[in-house]
Amino acid sequence: MATSFGSATSTVIPNDPKIRMQSFTGLKSLHSIALARNHRVFPLPFSAPSVIRAVSTPVKPETSTTEPKRSKVEIFKEQSNFIRYPLNEEILTDTPNINEAATQLIKFHGSYQQYNRDERGTRSYSFMLRTKNPGGKVPNQLYLTMDDLADQFGIGTLRLTTRQTFQLHGVLKKNLKTVMSTIIKNMGSTLGACGDLNRNVLAPAAPLMTKEYLFAQETADNIAALLTPQSGFYYDVWVDGERFMTSEPPEVVKARNDNSHKTNFPDSPEPIYGTQFLPRKFKIAVTVPTDNSVDILTNDIGVVVVSDDNGEPQGFNIY
């Protein structure tokens, strides 16, 4: 928008106690009306006319050339060998809890260390595990497995979250590897359900078979696959490096390797995330018009399918 500055045109007479002067019209659009009106003013404390040419705010000088202080979490991530160390060692010790660095890293694996805040003295530690289910889809085998794990290693309850995941509470550290590996081997995953990376990708879970709904589900699956960590840290820690991965659509692989905008980390085990992953969690949801079951605007990115009059998907609106 083009702008112009107004100017004072009348003469100031300092000795007149009640003068009228044309006020400065301020910063305004060339296409707008004046932004100020005439005002009554008091005498000015000087004896000769004066004109103010310009007023500016001085720029603060650089006080330091050192880099800003980094948080502990950023340093933990950078020194972790892509979210492995020291978690891979901490889960094997006899203590009921893990150290500060491992506590931050285990979030990327889909778990939080917790303790009973009402207890006094010695703390009773346990772990919460959260699954990752794009679009809210849960295979029958996984549900039955989670139900059994809740009874055997949890507190007997299985919680459902508003982000279409399961949460299993009360798992002891000595049972973590057993529970994690069982989930992985039964069509499940907790990878990226917590931590500084893309979280579970939502889509309407209702089994509606229209082209729009199917396309929304497929898009959520593809986004989840695209933004899943690639360095293998999850499988190294919980199933000794054995991989349990499904095949990805060619367009997902192509998108992950696309560095035409110079946004990737070349030759890195994590081509999208790098060693630091993200500064914070990131959330995405996909839906169709009029269906807000995923609460689209509470996400960092909302993806809404756009279809033609025949219901054929044509693209997306992005929020």
Q: What is the pLDDT of residue 98?
A: 98
pLDDT on residue 62: 67
CB 197 within 8 A of CB 273: yes
Residue 10: predicted pLDDT: 43
pLDDT of residue 40: 46
CATH number belonging to domain 72-318: 3.30.413.10
Please give the pLDDT value at position 146: 98
What pLDDT is stored for residue 318 in this prediction?
98
pLDDT of residue 2: 43
Which stretches in the chain have pLDDT values below 50? 1-14, 17-47
pTM: 0.78
Q: What pLDDT is attached to residue 7? A: 40
Quote the pLDDT of residue 90.
98
Residue 158 pLDDT: 96
Domain residue spans in the chain?
72-318
β partners of residue 27: 5
pLDDT digits (tens, 9 = 90+) for 126-153: 999 999 999 999 999 999 999 999 999 9
- Per-residue pLDDT, 67: 78
Q: What is the pLDDT of residue 97?
A: 97
> CA 85 to CA 107: how far, in whole Å?
13
Close Cβ partners of 271 (under 8 Å, ≥ 6 residues apart): 230, 256, 257, 259, 264, 265
